Amino acid sequence: MDRKQREERRRQEDIALQRGLLWVVGAAVLEALLVLVNRYYINYFVNEVNITNALDKVLRFLRLGAPVAAVLALAWTFWLLRQGKKFGWQLVLALGLAAVSVCAHVIIKFWGPGVSMLFWLVVAWAVLALVYYIYQREFFLAACACGMSVLALWFVRYEASGRMEALLLLAAIAVVTDVVFQLKKRDGVLSIGREPVQFLPKKTSYSVLLVTCAASLAVIIAAMLLGGTAAYYLMFVMVAWLFALFVYYTVKLM
């Protein structure tokens, strides 16, 4: 690798790090908003009931409006992608609106426990963004599947009230699994626009990734059959699996 190639690689790494840090800043802002929600919506005083009612109206509006806006922004993103045009901020907008939708829904439906879980979930989103920009793409896909399984298990703990969310996450993991199979079949190439994108390197090993996807699907199905107690212990199993993945892909990066 000559000097010019090293400088270009360093420039690309700097850009990736800056983008990852922007997601971290966004997560910090969302965490600050959650602190305010926790204070004035969950743990409010009697003389603050007007603020609580106002927050309730805002959250209920976001619960309905943000998902619609997120779908529209995502549709716009795919249209631009098909046209071969830039779609960066449209995708960021779709992801941001999706995050707001999830937060509003969880806060309203699960109240205090939901807010406590969201504090950790927002941190996980920020870490995933850094993984996408800094680590291998296969680790990102594995972390997405494993992380969604942990979240689904948290919902299963609430039995019937969390079953719908768990099923949606099960479907999302199935989509990730299908993407992995398509990447394996096409040697890492992802065809979503006019020009194919080399999403994963050609010599990528898919064994760990596929096992992670299969395990993520299996634990959710098992927890839904066995109940909340099983879901509680399986959460620790999947968190340990996620840590093992982190160690594995960190060693591969060296």
Residues (pLDDT < 50) of the chain are none
- Helix H, strand E, coil C: the string for 166-212 is HHHHHHHHHHHHHHHHHHHHCCCEECCCCCCEECCCCCCCCHHHHHH
pLDDT for the residue 2: 62
Can you give the pLDDT at residue 150?
94
State the chain's mean pLDDT as an integer: 88
pLDDT tens for residues 184-205? 998 888 777 667 778 888 888 8
- For residue 71, the model assigns a pLDDT of 94
The pLDDT of residue 191: 75
Q: What is the pLDDT of residue 146?
A: 95
Q: pTM above the 0.95 mark?
A: no
Q: Give the model's pLDDT for residue 49.
A: 92
So what's the pLDDT on residue 207? Answer: 92
Q: Angle at which helices 207-226 and 163-185 pack, to 10 degrees?
A: 160
Rounded to 5 degrees, what angle do the CA atoms 55, 58, 61 make? 150
**Residue 159 pLDDT:** 59
pLDDT, tens digit (0-9, with 9 covering 90-100), for 21-41:
888 898 999 999 999 999 999
